[in-house]
Amino acid sequence: MTAALALATSLLWGLADFGGGLLTRRMSALTVVVVSQTLAAVVLGGIVVATGGWSEWGPQLWFAVAAGVVGPVGMLAFYKALSQGPMGVVSPLASLSVLVPVGAGLALGDHPGLLQGVGLAIALVGVLLAGGPEFRGAPVQRQTIALTLLSALGFGAVMALIEHASTTLTGLFLALFVQRVCNVAVGGVALFAQVRRGVPALPAVGAAGRRAVAAALPALAFVGLADVAANGTYMLAAQLGPVTMAAVLASLYPVVTALAARGFLRERLRVVQAAGAGLALFGTVLLASA
């Protein structure tokens, strides 16, 4: 069950990243983050009220708060790094986020067997290669590398934190709601600062900009809800099985994003990406069969 839930996480995160990437071609990345997470928070708020999730309020929700604060920081650093450097460098470095929850899992007592350890190592290499690392080309600015590593730390911290935010199904909905509210708060402050610097929040001036956002609402809702669902399946996967297995399998989302780009945008997979996807799949089989 852990393997299935973690793979579902990678599918949902990959599709959310693909949808978010398309939307940021038409509007500010911060606008995409704030609107999509606001829509997700509204849906989750309704679910919390309907299921009586408020009764699960407790100190464990501080983990959800922390995840909600560091998540947007990692996302914004990632988008900034992508705007400065080649994706072939940024994407593989960002995949290092998996090392944070894997390290946390090992520190907290996860002890994979020999076959699982081999599968873990193979899948880790596959995740890094699936981003399509560039081995040649112009040097990358130190600021770009620093931003990418910051995003990796942020994404990994979210994975390590969110698994501790609930122990029940109703508590899961409440934790995801709290996380989304914090996402919106942090993203909203950043968006306000961006507007104060003269960078518009909407893709066009006045009514035209509002109509553009309204037309994109279904896609924005999909991105927000897919991200929520991915966090939920990851929390369940990490609670039902080894965190190391859940983290590695959930980190296969770059493969999903690349395949979606191939299917919808006709982007070609590089040889190194295909090799990485194959290694990740092989490592997944070893992890799931151990």
pLDDT one-digit tens code per residue, 186-197: 999 999 999 999
Using only C-alpha atoms, what is the Rg of the chain?
A: 19
Q: Band of the pLDDT at 180, cuts 50, 70, 90?
A: very high
pLDDT one-digit tens code per residue, 18-76: 888 788 778 888 898 899 999 999 999 999 999 988 888 899 999 999 999 998 888 78
Percent of the chain with pLDDT over 90: 29
State the helix-helix crossing angle for 142-162 and 99-107, rounded to 10 degrees.
40
What average pLDDT does this structure show over 3-20?
88
CA distance 171 to 38: 20
Which pLDDT value is given to residue 83?
64
**Mean pLDDT, the chain, integer:** 82
